[in-house]
Amino acid sequence: MQLIFEKSVAGRRGYQLPKSDVNVTSKIPSQYIRKTECQWPEVSELDVVRHFTRLSKLNYSVDANFYPLGSCTMKYNPKISETVASIDGFANLHPVLPQLDPDLVQGALQVLYEMDQLLSEIAGMHCFTMQPLAGAHGELTGVMLISAYHRAKGNKKKYIIVPDSAHGTNPASATIAGYDIVSVPTDKNGVLSLKDIEDKITDELAGVMLTAPNTLGIFNSDVDKISEAVHKVDGLMYYDGANLNAVLGRARPGDLGFDIVHINLHKTFATPHGGGGPGSGPVGVKKSLCEFLPISRVIKKKDDVYALDYDYSKSIGYVAAFYGNFSVILKAYVYIMMLGKEGLKEVSDHAVLNANYIMESLKKYFDLPFDRTCMHECVFSASRQEKNGVHAIDIAKFLIDKGFHPPTIYFPLIVKEAIMIEPTETESKQQIDEFIEVMIEAAKLAENNPEEFKNFPKTTSVCRPDEVKAARDVACNYFLNK
Amino acid sequence: MSSFIANTAQDVDEMLKIIGKKSIDSLFSDIQPRHEPKSFNIPPGISEFEILTKFNLIAEKNNVKLVSFLGAGFYDHYVPQVVGALSSRAEFYTAYTPYQPETSQGILQSLYEFQSMIATLTDMDMVNASLYDGGTALYEAMMMAIRINRRKKIIMDGGVSPIYRKIIRSYTSNLDIEFKEASVVHGRADRKEILGMLDKNTSAIILQNPNFFGAIDDHSDIIESAHKLGILVIESVYPVSLGILKTPGEMDVDIVTGEGQSLGIPLNFGGPYLGFMATKKKYVRKMPGRIVGQTEDKEGSRCFVNTLQAREQHIRREKATSNICTNVALCAVQASMFMSLLGKRGLIDLAQLNFEKAEFAREMLESVKGVEVKRSSPTFNEFTVKLPSDASDVVKKMIKKGFAAGFPLSRYYPEMKNYLLIAVTEKRTRQEIIDFVDALKEVLCN
């Protein structure tokens, strides 16, 4: 498809500005003026509308396709959340207004305050900060809190334990915050054994970052015992909330001994992921850590008046300019209000039911490295198909031609040829049956006619981009490539 | 059962039968009784209709009716209807990160166009596909500079947004980095002071143009001196101003960052916004975040992919250039739409209009008794005034008259109790500006 720049025609305009109604004599001196010309395209309003409408049609999306992308919780994003976020009183609210007068933003502060309370109850924590702008940002905030805690206590801590099945963001976040990483291998049951963790615990352990259930979709029954062992050396337990969708109302990180939690609102609480973002990664902590949370914090005064409080001398400071991705937080709040207590429990019930149904239905056809009841996602391996030269990526491309967004592939790294399937609770049995059927078709084709896979996908505008070339001859700017 | 779940009781029975379990509860057997929640007191769910009523009432407790002269890095620009209409297409907003290029050419091409438009705006070679916001982008730029020259001292100009300065200090409080901050000036950066701080241990200088107080600068001379010592220069910019102002590329800046909210993103009470980063070609492999690159497919057709992924956390884990994963792709796409609508002429006109409106307001305020405009060099759409009394009190009185009069600087600079930062965008009409000045006169008289 043509680039917007290739549609540019000199003199064309896509947007009419108001005419200037002021006459001023002052000019910016010429030494401050740009000499080069900015090359934004010259196109009409309809050109822009048609260009982006056509581009949109090249995407797979939750609204059009089953999207079982493991670890990403691609559930349906309710339309009502979008409507609420677009209400003038939320969408056009300037973030520094409360510094003029908090009375101007009582509604927004109420949303932030009540979300703090709801998330605290859901996760079993004492209080939350809404500031972190995505999951990884929440992780970094969390590790900064770990660091602040140990500094305040005079603890000499050096390293963080991360499982080998963890998301890459965990070790990356802990490193950026200044810690060394000790990786612990997954055992034959698909979890970290208490003993393997205990072997790595010393007085220099700052904390442990865990996902529960983990990225194999398995809940570690020893997780509370791990917490106890870590607490004995004054280490802190960090809960990566990427997989919270599996345990709503069934287990709360706080009750399992976790001290710090981040929640990906764009996963569990159904806010749209926007083709890569925005997300939102609020961080919750136990009471002993509240004093370290970022500022500002929303407080509720007498007569239900809300205010921003900056007076926390031990706070780690600001991790973002304002109060987090407010409109994302608002959408998640709408979702929680709409589902309520029972609705939230049903989320996990059906997410787990759907995943187990897929796992049982496909395990005859694909290798299942850890054959046990899973939670919200299941991880297969294409190692059986690989013997015929068919890889996980080939199966992914086959699924694309059948109208499905592929599962996550090659993650977690510890499973060879991994295919990680997370259906979510919003998919019906009938939709899942279609997916299962197509997966079985893929397995059979890999047996009988493996060569066919090299030609998939056939139905999309492009097929198998050359990623090596992209990385070798980096071309990320049209005007430089020309 | 909520309307977001499709399985009926019969579906559940059939599925459990295949799984070989008697109940959904039995699927949760790894969660032991001792793990059960101590409480789960969430209110019962309510209907969509009730939600709408409830949130309309909450929204009414926010005041968006004031005529706004508020900026401080976040601006009340008009967002054309096309941006909202196109970006609310579910094919954009309900997709995930483009891990499979064949199902994501729409988002990938949009991001490639975004990168190209930011590149030509800033006059830089390489742009990434977005970072969370302007503040975190500036922090990432500083970490990138440290990765490039392996030095540990950072010099920050006094004109950098105090909000950003606080963010950066929070992130680096437990890292071994030495900070030097130049004094706050309302005009151009203090050459003598900054150049005096430079040495061979300095990794980077962080500048902002226009600075927090709206002052325009040409940093070329500082940059030339810095480069002689192997020091990198990072500049945070306000994209709309670049319709007129000398570009970072023309000044030979090494890493450019900015807050892209002014490119078609609503104010949203602080987020989501749009952080962007641009750099020179030679530094592209040190850049954090996703980068979309052009390539060819099997048939030789042009297409787009996430590239240089070997820098990123999902491959490199603890050795990655950053921990960032989710960015703000949808905001970048919105900005692409906005920039395409504006075009090269529209950008210049928008910048000119913002400049003129602010100049008009400034000239009028200069004639008000007791108001002193504080600036020693030209400003772009924002400037500081010194009032005869506490700016916070004046602002409160102006609210009663229907104006958000500006940002009282004492919030970050206690010594500037009487100072007010005033921003004027293309949305403010001549009459609103006149009324604003009249209201201020009245407030100051009483």
B364, closest residue in chain A (CA to CA): A24
**Does the distance separating the beta carbons of A37 and B344 come in below 8 Å?**
yes
* Residues forming a β-bridge with A409: A419
Cα(A46)–Cα(A469) distance, integer angstroms: 35
A315, closest residue in chain B (CA to CA): B170
Q: Does the residue B29 lie in any domain?
A: no
Closest CA to B209 of B243, B179, B182, B242: B242
Quote the domain boundaries for residue B221. 81-338
Q: What is the pLDDT of residue B280?
A: 98
* Position B174 pLDDT exceeds 80: no
Closest CA to A392 of A463, A443, A322: A443
Domain total for chain A?
3
Q: What is the pLDDT of residue B321?
A: 86
**Confidence class of residue A481 from pLDDT cuts 50, 70 and 90?**
confident
| ipTM given for this complex | 0.97
Domain stops at, among A283, A306, A337: A337
pTM of structure: 0.98
SS3 state at B126: strand
Q: Does the residue A73 lie in any domain?
A: no
Same domain, A260 and A407: no
Q: What is the pLDDT of residues A242-284, one digit of tens each?
A: 999 999 999 999 999 999 999 999 999 999 999 999 999 999 9
Chain B positions in Cβ-Cβ contact with residue A398 (cut-off 8 Å)? none
The secondary structure of A347-389 as a DSSP string is HHHHHHHHHHHHHHHHTTTSB-SS-S--SS-EEEE-HHHHTTT
Cα(B177)–Cα(B145) distance, integer angstroms: 12
Same domain, B258 and B307: yes
Q: What is the pLDDT of residue B318?
A: 85
Domain total for chain B?
2
**Does the distance separating the beta carbons of B56 and A275 come in below 8 Å?**
no
Q: What is the pLDDT of residues B111-160, one digit of tens each?
A: 999 999 999 999 999 999 999 999 999 999 999 999 999 999 999 999 99
- The size of the A-B interface in CB pairs under 8 A is 691
* Residues forming a β-bridge with B279: B126, B255
Q: What is the pLDDT of residue B376?
A: 83
Q: What is the pLDDT of residue B175?
A: 84
Q: Does the residue A70 lie in any domain?
A: no
Q: What is the pLDDT of residue B317?
A: 87
Q: Does the residue B435 lie in any domain?
A: yes
At residue A317, what is the residue type? Answer: G
Nearest Cα of chain B lies from the Cα of A384 at a distance, in angstroms, of 23
- Which tokens hold the place of B254? 């090494």
**Confidence class of residue A72 from pLDDT cuts 50, 70 and 90?**
very high
Q: Does the residue B266 lie in any domain?
A: yes
**Does the distance separating the beta carbons of A275 and B95 come in below 8 Å?**
yes
**Does the distance separating the beta carbons of B104 and A58 come in below 8 Å?**
yes
Q: Does the residue A425 lie in any domain?
A: yes
Q: Is A305 on the interface with B (CB under 8 A)?
A: no
Same domain, A349 and A394: yes
Chain B positions in Cβ-Cβ contact with residue A405 (cut-off 8 Å)? 96, 100, 103
Q: What is the pLDDT of residues B79-93, one digit of tens each?
A: 999 999 999 999 999
> b/e for B290-308, b at 16 or more Cβ within 10 A?
bbbbbbebeeeeebbbbbb
Same domain, A189 and A333: yes
C-alpha distance from residue B281 to each of A474, B246, B344 (Å):
9, 20, 24
Average pLDDT of chain B is 96
CB interface of B with A, residues 352-391, below 8 Å: 352-353, 355-357, 359-360, 363, 378, 380
**Does the distance separating the beta carbons of A95 and B267 come in below 8 Å?**
yes
- Residue B296 has its nearest CB partner, among A77, A353, A469, at A469
Same domain, B231 and B254: yes
Neighbours of A61 (CB within 10 A): 26
**Does the distance separating the beta carbons of B29 and A275 come in below 8 Å?**
no
Mean pLDDT for A463-467 is 96
Nearest Cα of chain A lies from the Cα of B231 at a distance, in angstroms, of 22
SS3 state at A29: coil
Q: Does the residue A65 lie in any domain?
A: no
Cα(A473)–Cα(A480) distance, integer angstroms: 12
Q: Does the residue B89 lie in any domain?
A: yes
Mean pLDDT for B425-441 is 98
Same domain, B433 and B329: no
Q: Is A42 on the interface with B (CB under 8 A)?
A: yes
Nearest Cα of chain A lies from the Cα of B360 at a distance, in angstroms, of 6
Q: Does the residue B396 lie in any domain?
A: yes
B115, closest residue in chain A (CA to CA): A477
- Residue B6 has its nearest CB partner, among A352, A426, A461, at A426
Same domain, A106 and A191: yes
Same domain, A332 and A361: no
Cα(B348)–Cα(B352) distance, integer angstroms: 6
Q: Does the residue A452 lie in any domain?
A: yes
Cα(B151)–Cα(A270) distance, integer angstroms: 43
Q: Is B68 on the interface with A (CB under 8 A)?
A: yes
Strand B126-127 with B67-68, pairing: unpaired
Quote the domain boundaries for residue A33. 4-56
Q: Does the residue A266 lie in any domain?
A: yes
Mean pLDDT for A78-95 is 98
**Confidence class of residue A218 from pLDDT cuts 50, 70 and 90?**
very high
Same domain, A48 and A148: no
> b/e for B319-358, b at 16 or more Cβ within 10 A?
ebbbbbbbbbbbbbbbbbbbbbbbbbbbbbbbbbbbbbbb
Q: What is the pLDDT of residue A438?
A: 98
Q: What is the pLDDT of residue B440?
A: 98
Q: What is the pLDDT of residues B313-348, one digit of tens each?
A: 888 888 888 888 999 999 999 999 999 999 999 999
Q: Does the residue A310 lie in any domain?
A: yes
Domain stops at, among A308, A337, A366: A337
Same domain, A148 and A258: yes
Q: Does the residue A68 lie in any domain?
A: no
Domain stops at, among B314, B338, B362: B338
Q: What is the pLDDT of residue B122?
A: 98
- Residue B305 has its nearest CB partner, among A22, A224, A470, at A470
* Strand ranges, E, within B186-268: 202-209, 232-237, 255-259
Chain A positions in Cβ-Cβ contact with residue B91 (cut-off 8 Å)? 56-57, 59, 61, 63-64
Average pLDDT of chain A is 97
* Position A482 pLDDT exceeds 80: no
**Does the distance separating the beta carbons of B293 and A476 come in below 8 Å?**
yes
> b/e for B103-132, b at 16 or more Cβ within 10 A?
bbbbbbbbbbbbbbbbbbbbbbbbbbbbbb
CATH number at residue B403: 3.90.1150.10
Domain stops at, among A298, A321, A337: A337
Closest CA to A5 of B203, B246, B80, B336: B336
Q: Is B166 on the interface with A (CB under 8 A)?
A: yes
Q: Does the residue B383 lie in any domain?
A: yes
CATH number at residue A438: 3.90.1150.10
Q: What is the pLDDT of residue B2?
A: 83
Q: What is the pLDDT of residue B173?
A: 84
Q: Is B187 on the interface with A (CB under 8 A)?
A: no
